[in-house]
Each structure stands twice: as C-alpha cells, then as structure tokens.
Amino acid sequence: MIASAPVFVGASMRVSRLLLVTLRDDPAEAEITSHKLLLRAGYIRRISSGIYAYLPLLWRVLQKISTIVRQEMDATGALETLLPQLQPADLWQRSGRWAGYTDGEGIMFHLTDRQGRELGLGPTHEEVITTLAAELLRSYRQLPVNLYQIQTKFRDEIRPRFGLMRGREFIMKDAYSFHADEDSLRQTYAAMDQAYRRIFQRCGLRAVAVEADSGAIGGSASQEFMVTAEAGEDLILTSADGCYAANQERAVSLPPAAVPLPGGSRAAGAGEQLSTPNQSTIEQLCSAHGFDASQLVKVLLLLARFADGLRQPLLVSLRGDQQLNEVKLANAVSAQLATEHGALLSIDPLTADLVRSEKLPLDLGAISFGYLGPDLADAVLAHDPTSQAGAAGGAALPGTPPIRLVRSFLRLADSTAAGLEAFVCGGNASDSHRVGASWKGLALRPEPLDLRAAQSGDRCLHDPDQCLQSARGIEVGHIFQLGRKYSEALDARFTNESGVDEALWMGCYGIGVSRLAQAAVEQHHDRDGICWPVAIAPYEVIVVIANTQETVQVELAEALYGELSAAGLEVLLDDRAERAGVKFKDADLIGIPWRVVVGRGAAAGQVELVCRAGGAKRELDASAVREVLELEIGRGRMGDGLGT
C-alpha cells in the first residue's frame, strides 16, 4: 500500500455555532434510509428535483472523500486539472454526440448565449479533454498521461432519485488517460483498478469490482465498483470463491440443462398441432400439459429504433425457462446494424400502443400474440393500413429523419433455445401450439447468441460446481478502456516511434464522489442514525457536556476540547444548553465516530468514551482520552475498518 498523508480537513467547532438543524420526522421526499438520514441530520437540503445544497457537515465529508481520491490518484502519477463546465456545441458535434445528448431524451442541459452560440453544461468531459490532448500531445515521448478532475457534473436525468444517488447536479471525479498503444492503456487501467480498491477501502466502504457492460460510452473492457447495499439499483452476481463478479447486465453463466421433450421431434420437425385456448403464457402451458418450461421456445416481438430513422422488427427466441437480458440484446442488435444506421436508440415491445405512438405504417392484426413461433412469417409485416399510392413510411417529425420500417424480421435466438433438438412453440395462430418442432423442421438456422439473463443460482462458467449469488449494489465507480473511439472522432493524434501519426489510445475512469458519500451512509447506519467511517466523518470526535449548568463539566469539557483540537483531532464540542438526551440523540444521528461524555464523573476527572459504531462504552480518566483517541482515530483515518 502506498503511504498517504492522513486526511485532515481541520478546524474544530462548537455545536452551538454549527448551524445544526436536525429533524425529528422523516421528510416525505425521502424514500431510502440514507436519504432520510442525510436530510434529518442536516447534511443536505433539496433545492429542486435532483439538485441539493451540500450543508457544512456534508461539505466536510465530500472534502475528505475528495482528499482520499486525490491522494490515490496522485500516487499513480495522475495529474489534477479543472476543465470547463460550459462546453461549446461544436465540440460535441465533432464527436457526433451533440444531437443524441440534447434532442428528445438527451441528458445534457444546453443553452444558447446572447450571440446565438449553443453551449452544453458538461455531463462528462471526453470531448473537452480529447480536444486538449489533441493540442498538447504531439509525441509518444509525452505518453502515457492521465488527467483527472473533481468537479460538478450536470445531467438532466430522466428521473432523479434517492437524494444524492441520482442527482441532476453531482460531484464526480473523472480521469482520462492517453496512450501510445493498447498495452500502455491496459497498464493504466490496471493501476486505476488498484487505486480504486484502495480509495473505497480507505473510505471504509465494502465495495466489489464487477465486470460491466460498457454501454453508451463505448470501448472494450469495463469494470464497475459496487458498494453493496439493499437499496442499490443494480443487481450483481458473484461466485462464492470470489473468482467471478459481474453486473447482471453483463453476467454469463451455464444455463440449467433442458428437460428433453418426450417423443423428440414430430411430423418431421414441423411439430404436431396442440389446441391451447387461453394458454398464452409459459405457466399456463406447463400446468395444462405437464411441460417443463425448458421444453418451450418463447418468442418475443420487439422493435429496434435507430438514429437514421430505421425501424427494425425483431423476433427473439428464448428457452421458456430463461429471461431476456435487454443489454445483451441491444449489443447484439447494435453489432449487426449500428455501423450502417447510427446509434441504437431503443428496443421496445412491438405493441399496438407503440405502432400508434410511433405512427408506424403497420397493422398488427395478423399477429397472434401469445402464440408466436420462431418461424413467424415476414408477411405479417406486409400490411400497410396507411398505404395509398405506395406511401412508404410514417410521418416524420420536423428535424428528425423520416421513419423507414423494415418489413422483415431480424431473427435472433439465445443459445439455450437454439440448442434444443425438439421443442414446443407457438403455432402462429390463436389458441394453438406445436409440439415436437425442431429448427430444421421449421427451416430455420439460428445463430446461437448469448441473450439470456444470468440468474442467482446458475452454475458458473469458470467452475460448474460454483453457483452465482446475487446482491444489490450502488455503482460508485466505473473504469473503461475506451480505445480510439473519441481520439479518432476528434482527430487526437500523436507521432509514434516510427514517425507515423496515429490516434491516441484512451481510458476513462469515474468515481461518483457525492454518490459515494450517500452510499457510505446506506452501508453504515443503525436505528439511531449514521455511523460514519472515521476517514470520511465530518468530525472525528464529539465532546458532549451533559449538563452545561455544571461548571465542573463545562470546564473539563472545554479543556478536553482544547487538548484534542491541539492534538490535531477534528473535534465538535456540544455546548448547547440542551438536555443530555437531546445531545446524545443528535450525536448519534449525525454519526460522529467517537463521543466523549463529560458528565457526573467530571468532578472526579472521569469521562465516558463511546464508539458510535457498536456503542461500546468505557469510563476513563480525562487525562487518558487524548492518547486513546489519537490511537483509534489514527487507525480509522487510514481506512482501518470503522474505527472500532
């Protein structure tokens, strides 16, 4: 481990001057515990949806997290910088992301200045940094370089949620590395992986690194860091031996073996008709005819929307006992069509509602939902209810490309379905299924793809004796190997050893600083309030005067306050003329790791020392307090557990 200076924000404080406003009731706006506690304990106030004021206590927490992040980044040789938040549209137009980030459901806040120039408020900084890199990086001799900043990001989230967890304005550490070759990128990526593990460990968080989908940002390898907590928005799957961990979006596993269909294929693989009135679900079919779900092929009808206006109907086959992984599907569809038709905008079930809202020239009347087979004919897409004189497409909104509907299916099959010798599937007509169908008999040759969602309980690929376990996680960090996507788009090139110009290799590495603060609360609290890990607590110790009318107590507490502060500890002195109970409740709520109670024993020089996490108490002589706390807090500052 790299030796780091202790995190110290400094400045001790009297609670009477702290602007501490705590609430007794849970505010109605909060849903999850960490959000309620941050509001009740006076750490944050909501200003607007997804926009929060960080009150003085939280600001100290954020500064401490930032300090840890900064120390660990600096230790890897990364350079801190600060990039503009206001970014010109043309930068984003050059990378091709302006339209996607501002139109429709775009996530970027944007505006026009008084000269009529368009600007965006940075949701991320790939464009700015890559432009800078293009200007500054000329030679392989300057590489590699890793630049980072800790700054407010702006994202017009579709649905802000859970306080700081998903805000529209939030603090993020983002780093971008530049390399002469892929190997150098891999080295920095690995260094970031290690730095991230140290950061979360030093913050006192239980975090797990998982394989991740690289999503819209693109690139090859990517890994997320998850703080495990019930309130997490992501599902992560891990093996008990710790060798495998992945976001469910990405996770792979061995599917359970299928139960062979008795009788195998029938009618030369065309299947025998079975009357199945009102049995349009897997459950109904299985219970009515004694099938196992793994003997069925279910077929999903979906529509993919592309940026160039293309609308591609999809017919996806899955084994009946499996669930679709939409991220894998989107990746598979993109891989086939995105180079030609631009970004994949969405994949939705192809329903009457969608036909109406998308104004598709399509009549779904010929399709028997609930009874689809993988061989559903393209002819069902032929009927155009709006066609007069061969009109080809629906009405386009001004400024968007005209909609072009493909009248044939893109047929995709998960390997579990494609691998079945004989199966039950829909008859492509109401109230009928086919038993003993085979791919050959249906005249289909599906390419086996991985489209299924791995589940808790599935066997692992790396060791079939291990099963996947699930947990919920909060994504606090994400590292990517971007490759050359942005450098090529923005023409960021350098001269290599052979004197030839080539595009820079890039990586990017994010940590949600404000999200991390709330994730810490989600992971470290009890019935009475927050239990901050020492390393990120706003103050390390709180000296409570049980009764401010007792001069002996006041004097001893003041003396301790001075001594502990002078010793370099961050101390709160609760000098309020409140009853002891009120001050204990507040101390528990705001979650200061150590509490020194100066009360009845003061006359004899005795005080009580209480550890917030766990509540362990001990009586000791006031003269011994400093030494004990220096030891305990010194350990806690380095991320050694919770300071217990």
DSSP 254: B
Our CB check for RNA shows the closer of 455 and 466 to be 455
Q: How far is the CB of 89 from RNA (least distance, A)?
A: 19
Q: Identify the residue whose tokens are 């979650």.
A: 591
Our CB check for RNA shows the closer of 176 and 409 to be 176
Instruction: Tell how many helices (H) and how many strands (E) occur in the chain.
Output: 15, 33
User: What DSSP string runs through 107-170?
Assistant: --EEEE-TTS-EEEE-S--HHHHHHHHHHH--BGGG--EEEEEEEEEE---SS-BTGGGB-SEE
Q: Is residue 54 near RNA by the rule CB under 7 A? A: no
Binding residue for RNA, selected from 80, 234, 363, 450, defined by CB under 7 A: 234
Q: Is residue 24 near RNA by the rule CB under 7 A? A: yes
Binding residue for RNA, selected from 161, 197, 407, 635, defined by CB under 7 A: 161
Question: What is the rounded CA–CA span in Å between residue 546 and residue 602?
Answer: 10
Binding residue for RNA, selected from 49, 142, 284, 469, defined by CB under 7 A: 49
Binding residue for RNA, selected from 271, 507, 599, 643, defined by CB under 7 A: 599
Our CB check for RNA shows the closer of 558 and 640 to be 558
Q: Is residue 115 near RNA by the rule CB under 7 A? A: no
Q: How far is the CB of 153 from RNA (least distance, A)?
A: 7
Question: What is the rounded CA–CA span in Å between residue 542 and residue 41?
Answer: 15
Our CB check for RNA shows the closer of 3 and 158 to be 158
Our CB check for RNA shows the closer of 29 and 182 to be 29
Binding residue for RNA, selected from 75, 145, 208, 217, defined by CB under 7 A: 217
Number of residues that bind RNA (CB under 7 A): 72
Strands 207-211, 310-319: parallel, antiparallel or unpaired by DSSP?
unpaired
Binding residue for RNA, selected from 44, 598, 613, 629, defined by CB under 7 A: 598
Site residues for RNA, window 508-547 (CB under 7 A)? 510-512, 514-515, 528, 546-547
Contact window for RNA (CB under 7 A) among 298-306, 385-393, 414-422, 470-478: 470-478
Q: Is residue 224 near RNA by the rule CB under 7 A? A: yes
Q: Is residue 578 near RNA by the rule CB under 7 A? A: yes
DSSP 263: T
Q: How far is the CB of 535 from RNA (least distance, A)?
A: 18
3-state secondary structure 165-210: HECCEEEEEEEEEEECCHHHHHHHHHHHHHHHHHHHHHCCCCEEEE
Q: How far is the CB of 460 from RNA (least distance, A)?
A: 23
Contact, 214 vs 246, CB < 8 A?
Answer: no
Tokens of 324: 């679709």
Q: Which of 466, 452, 591, 470 is nearest to 521 (CA)?
A: 591
Our CB check for RNA shows the closer of 276 and 548 to be 548
Q: Is residue 591 near RNA by the rule CB under 7 A? A: no
Binding mask 86-105 for RNA (x = CB under 7 A): -------------------x
Strands 525-526, 529-530: parallel, antiparallel or unpaired by DSSP?
antiparallel
Our CB check for RNA shows the closer of 105 and 113 to be 105
User: What DSSP string runs through 19-66?
Assistant: T----SSPPTT--SHHHHHHHHTTSEEEEETTEEEE-HHHHHHHHHHH
Binding residue for RNA, selected from 115, 339, 498, 549, defined by CB under 7 A: 549
Question: What is the rounded CA–CA span in Å between residue 51 and residue 121?
Answer: 15
Task: Name the 3-class secondary structure at 553.
Answer: helix
Q: Is residue 585 near RNA by the rule CB under 7 A? A: yes
Our CB check for RNA shows the closer of 32 and 418 to be 32
Q: How far is the CB of 108 from RNA (least distance, A)?
A: 10
Q: Identify the residue whose tokens are 């394989």.
A: 211
Our CB check for RNA shows the closer of 422 and 590 to be 590
Binding residue for RNA, selected from 364, 413, 597, 625, defined by CB under 7 A: 597
Our CB check for RNA shows the closer of 23 and 268 to be 23
Q: How far is the CB of 546 from RNA (least distance, A)?
A: 4
Binding residue for RNA, selected from 90, 326, 378, 501, defined by CB under 7 A: 326
Question: What is the rounded CA–CA span in Å between residue 491 and residue 500?
Answer: 14
Q: How far is the CB of 601 from RNA (least distance, A)?
A: 5
Q: Which of 156, 138, 125 is nearest to 486 (CA)?
A: 125
Q: How far is the CB of 634 from RNA (least distance, A)?
A: 24
Our CB check for RNA shows the closer of 433 and 583 to be 583
Binding mask 166-195 for RNA (x = CB under 7 A): xx--x-x-----------------------
> CB within 8 A of 376, min separation 6: which ones?
299, 301, 315, 367, 409, 428
Binding residue for RNA, selected from 159, 257, 340, 399, defined by CB under 7 A: 159
Contact, 64 vs 639, CB < 8 A?
Answer: no
Binding residue for RNA, selected from 14, 359, 459, 600, defined by CB under 7 A: 600
When computed from its CA atoms, the radius of gyration of the chain, rounded to whole angstroms, is 30
Our CB check for RNA shows the closer of 296 and 587 to be 587
Site residues for RNA, window 343-362 (CB under 7 A)? 346
For residue 547, the number of C-alpha atoms closer than 13 Å in the C-beta half-sphere is 9
Contact, 533 vs 205, CB < 8 A?
Answer: yes
Our CB check for RNA shows the closer of 224 and 375 to be 224
Question: What is the rounded CA–CA span in Å between residue 474 and residue 375?
Answer: 41
- 580 φ/ψ angles, rounded to the nearest 5 degrees: -55, -45
From residue 32, alpha-carbon distances to 89, 120, 474, 525, 528 in Å are 37, 32, 13, 12, 15
Our CB check for RNA shows the closer of 158 and 500 to be 158
Q: Which of 492, 516, 507 is nearest to 173 (CA)?
A: 516
Q: Is residue 411 near RNA by the rule CB under 7 A? A: no
Q: Element (H or E) spanning 463, and its range?
A: none
Q: How far is the CB of 250 from RNA (least distance, A)?
A: 12
Question: What is the rounded CA–CA span in Å between residue 168 and residue 166?
Answer: 7
Contact window for RNA (CB under 7 A) among 161-169, 257-265, 376-384, 488-496: 161-169
Contact window for RNA (CB under 7 A) among 114-122, 269-277, 361-369, 599-607: 599-607
Binding residue for RNA, selected from 211, 475, 522, 540, defined by CB under 7 A: 475
CB atoms near residue 122 (< 10 Å) = 23
Binding residue for RNA, selected from 584, 592, 629, 633, defined by CB under 7 A: 584
Site residues for RNA, window 603-632 (CB under 7 A)? 608, 610
Q: How far is the CB of 575 from RNA (least distance, A)?
A: 11
